[in-house]
Chain A
Amino acid sequence: MSLLELAGVTAGYGAFTALWDVALRVERGEAVAVVGPNGAGKTTLLRVISGVLAPRGGTLTFDGAALAGRPAYEVVAHGIAHVPEGRRLFPTLTVADNLKMGAYLATARAHYPESLERVYGMFPVLAERRGQRAGSLSGGEQQMLAIGRALMSRPRLILLDEPSMGLAPVMVLRLFDLIRRVREEGYTILVVEQNVRQVLKLVDRAYLLEVGRVKMDGRAAEMAEQDFVRKAYVGL
């Protein structure tokens, strides 16, 4: 059984339907990407998985539990951590307090000191800046903090929404290295990215989403080879 399995998921806002009959699965230990153009429904997909947006129909199973329509604060307790689009840090709280909030769940609170040590070990710059306001960090540091905050809940699946958005090209490469390290720590990752070329090097499998529908899916290496994908998204 897959760790995460979506079947027939339809979702939208008001009269607008952003996702049509989406099926997707993520196995334990896997890294999976969802790529596609702007407005394809990638962010909506992650919002549905993490419970920010209730789907109109379909099933969403995580580790055997049916989570479709459950509120976000319940979904995270099942082990899904969502690093949202635009990072959504608490800007006037310190770096340390942002990480503390990542461990808000009762189960995470019990392991707070060791989780903190682990995150500081992975992102030493966060330890250096622990007393600084989150809003005063650079874009790359803010993205590290957002990922670190998600790790504090001791998740089994991490959802990353456009982690490279708004970062300088040099920082984008460093960020992908960091995500690779998070992966090597044994976390399962579902990542949404515009930066198709980079992300396909990082993940095992990928889904191509277009106007709310899954257009194609397969091994990342094979996807990168496809003429259609290369022309449209990789820019080669």
Chain B
Amino acid sequence: MIDPIFLAEAAVNGILLGGILALLALGLNLIFGVIDIVWIAYVDLVMLCMYLVYFLVQVYGWPVWLGGLAAIVFGAALGVAVHLLIISPILGSAPINQLLATGGLLFFLQSFATFLWTTDHRSVRLSLPSLEFGGIFLPLTRVIPFGISILALIGLYLFLTRTFVGTAIRAVSQDREAMALMGANPRRIYVVTSAVGGLMAGLAGALLIFQYSVHPFFGGQFGPLTFMICVLGGLGNMVGAFVASFIMSEIISIAGVVWSTEMGYVIAFVVFIVMIFARPGGILARRG
């Protein structure tokens, strides 16, 4: 029998992980919802941002917050670059081509990172204390990133619902031509969307580097999971992706304690496959 304290700790850790997964999933989902393209290489952009923070903080001794800020700016710039250099020229072509192009980017980035930085695992370790609640230990290196992701998600929500540009992003995802009739250049909206998606990748990278070590194949660790969360929540459905992030992180975290980490992923994948048949439109999709 497993100590209930361990289970409780796993549940809390699941929530902490879910916050960061939500950041990844919503970034990817935003881009898909608006531009209708899945950036297969999304988590590989996160990987680049993790390397950036590693070098700035660990090697060049920048303060952590400044390294994080640099990653956010770098991520946004990467997002714009991916859109302008790869997506924009093939926007009108068949969806499979767009998928293949971002898939190609994934292999390029993995090889590029291996070439430059070898396959060594690198990490930034901060020595922060843990909080304790009734026997449950919460390391601040996980609590603080969780808090920052939740703040970022609230920021994203306010941006998408309160501002003209954010509302226009949602409007373009519904009817691009009608939004052009309102005076918005859809191409410019796409660039802004890509920048926001990239910014979230940068922030996720800045938060992940303090919990996970980065290596050229980091994308394989979180990429499929992020994509599954988006599908589980319903592609393009932001609230669905948010909920699905926590479902998946709880499964992985609790099953990881009860059995093993590998088993946690196996169960998460099985749940995913079952849900795809049970609710193909996503967990929050309306029936019929």
Docked CA distance A71–B180 (Å) = 8
Contact flags B55-90 to A (C-beta < 8 A → 1, else 0): 000000000000000000000000000000000000
Q: How far is the CB of B170 from chain A (nearest CB, A)?
A: 6
Q: Are B181 and A90 in contact (CB under 8 A)?
A: no
Contact flags B164-204 to A (C-beta < 8 A → 1, else 0): 10011011001101111111111000000000000000000
Instruction: Please provide the chain B residues from 205 to 262 with a CB less than 8 Å away from any CB of chain A in the complex.
Output: none
When the two chains form the complex, which single residue of A52, A91, A92, A153 contacts B183, counting CB atoms closer than 8 Å? A153
CB-CB < 8 A to A104: which residues of B? Answer: 164, 168, 179, 182-184
Docked CA distance A91–B171 (Å) = 9
Q: Are B168 and A73 in contact (CB under 8 A)?
A: no
Chain B contact-residue range equals 10 to 19
Contact flags A54-73 to B (C-beta < 8 A → 1, else 0): 00000000000000000111
Known: A88-B175, A90-B171. A109 touches B164 (CB 8 A): yes
Docked CA distance A90–B170 (Å) = 9
Size of A's binding interface in residues, CB under 8 A: 27
Smallest Cβ-Cβ distance to A153: which chain B residue: B183
CB-CB < 8 A to B171: which residues of A? Answer: 90, 93, 97, 101
When the two chains form the complex, which single residue of B164, B167, B183 contacts A73, counting CB atoms closer than 8 Å? B183
Q: Are B185 and A100 in contact (CB under 8 A)?
A: no
Q: Are A76 and B174 in contact (CB under 8 A)?
A: no
Q: Are A77 and B183 in contact (CB under 8 A)?
A: yes
Q: How far is the CB of B24 from chain A (nearest CB, A)?
A: 24
Known: A93-B171, A101-B167, A109-B164. A73 touches B177 (CB 8 A): no
Docked CA distance A166–B184 (Å) = 28
Q: Are B181 and A50 in contact (CB under 8 A)?
A: yes
CB-CB < 8 A to A82: which residues of B? Answer: 181
Q: Are A84 and B170 in contact (CB under 8 A)?
A: no
Q: How far is the CB of B146 from chain A (nearest CB, A)?
A: 29
Q: Are B167 and A76 in contact (CB under 8 A)?
A: no
A36 within 8 A of B: no
Docked CA distance A203–B56 (Å) = 69
When the two chains form the complex, which single residue of B168, B177, B185, B186 contacts A101, counting CB atoms closer than 8 Å? B168
Q: How far is the CB of B163 from chain A (nearest CB, A)?
A: 10
Chain A interface (Cβ within 8 Å of chain B)? 50, 52, 71-73, 76-77, 81-82, 84, 88-93, 97, 100-105, 108-109, 149, 153
A-B pairs with lowest CB-CB distance, top 7: A105-B183, A88-B178, A72-B180, A76-B183, A104-B182, A90-B171, A90-B174
